[in-house]
Amino acid sequence: MRDRDADPDEIHYLNSLCVRAYAFLYANAHEEGDPRAGRASLRERAQELALELRSAFARSWQAQLVSWGLLLVGGLLGAALTSQNPDALYALVPANFGYSPDTVDRLWSSAEAREDFLAREEVSIGQNAWFGSVLFTHNTRVGLLAFAAGILAGIPTVLLQLYNGLVLGALSAVFFRDALPVAYLAWLLPHAVPELTAISLCASAGLMLGGAIAAPGRLGRGLALREAAQSAVVVAASSVPLFLLAALTESFVRESELGLTPRFAIAGTYTVALLAALVSIRSLARRERVETGWLRDLI
C-alpha cells in the first residue's frame, strides 16, 4: 500500500495490526515462561533467512549467467591478445599486481623462470595470516566496487568483469606456453574457484542494479531499483564468506609445499560444491516466478 501511495490512515492501521500480532505471538509466550518461544523465534528467523536467500539467488540467476559469461569472454580475449602480441601483457597485467615489466619479460621468455615462479615453498603462519588478510581486503574491495558501480546502469560493472577476465587470460597465456601447464593449474585453481565465484556474485548483484536503472519497465526507476536492491544486497553479501575462503586458500594452500594431488583435490571439491550450488539455484529459479524482462530489455 505504501508503494501505491494509499491512504496514510489505512497504512497506520495495518502497521498497528502487525505490532499487535507480533506482541500476541511472541511477547505473550515469553511472559508465560514458555521455553520454546526463544527456540521457535530463532528457528523462524533462520527459515526467513533461508527463504530470503532462495528468493535472491533465484532472481539473480540470469544476472549470474551474464556475469560468468563476461568473465569468460574477457579471459578468452586476454589470452588471444597476449598470444598474438606479447606486448599486451604490459597493459593487461599491471605492475601493482606484483608483476613488474622485468618479471613479465622473464616469465614470457623463460620456462625456468616460470618454474621458479611456481616453485612450492613453506611460509610461516604469521606471514600467511598477514597475506590472507591483505588478499581478503583487496578482493572484497574489488567485489564491492563491481556491485556498487552497477548503479551507473551496470556499465562499470560490465567493464570491471571483462577486465578481470582479461587479466586472468593474459596471465594464463604466459604459463600455457609450456606443453603441460599442470603446475600452473595447481597453483591457480584452488583459490581461483571461490574467488572468481565471489567476484561474479558481486558483479551479478551490480547487474541487477544496472538493469533496474537501464530498463525499469512500467514500475519506474525508483520502485524497480528498490525491488532489485533487496535481492542484490543479499547476493553481494553472500560473496563475503567466499572471499574469506579464497584468501585462506591462497595464503595457506597456494603458499605452501602441498603437492599437486592435494591442490587438485581442493580445487575439485570447490568446483563440485560450486556446480551443486548452480544446479540448486537453477532449480530454485524454476520453482519461483521471477520477472526477468529487464534483462531482455537491457540486451
pLDDT for 288 equals 56
Contact 174, 215 (CB under 8 A): no
Handedness of CA 171, 177, 181, 183 (dihedral sign): negative
What does pTM read for this prediction? 0.76
Tens digits of residue pLDDT in 187-198: 999 999 999 999
Q: How many CB atoms lie within 10 A of CB 176?
A: 16
Delimit the domains of the chain by residue range. 59-298
Handedness of CA 259, 262, 268, 274 (dihedral sign): negative
pLDDT by position in tens, the chain (length 299): 877 877 888 888 888 888 888 777 766 555 555 555 555 567 777 777 777 777 788 788 889 999 999 999 999 999 999 999 888 888 888 766 667 778 888 888 888 888 888 887 777 788 888 888 888 998 999 999 999 999 999 999 999 999 999 999 999 999 998 888 999 999 999 999 999 999 999 999 999 999 889 888 777 888 888 888 888 999 999 999 999 999 999 888 888 888 899 999 999 999 999 888 877 766 666 665 555 554 555 55
Contact 183, 118 (CB under 8 A): yes
Q: What is the DSSP string of 255-295?
A: TS---HHHHHHHHHHHHHHHHHHHHHHHHHHHHS----HHH
pLDDT for 74 equals 96
pLDDT for 298 equals 53
Which residues, 6 or more positions from 276, have their beta carbon under 8 angstroms from its beta carbon?
Answer: none
Burial 50-70 (b: 16+ CB within 10 A, else e): eeebbbbbbbbbbbbbbbbeb
Q: What is the DSSP string of 15-57?
A: HHHHHHHHIIIIIHHHHTT-THHHHHHHHHHHHHHHHHHHHHH
Degrees (nearest 5) of the Cα angle 294, 239, 75? 75
For residue 168, the Cα-to-chain-centroid distance in whole angstroms is 16
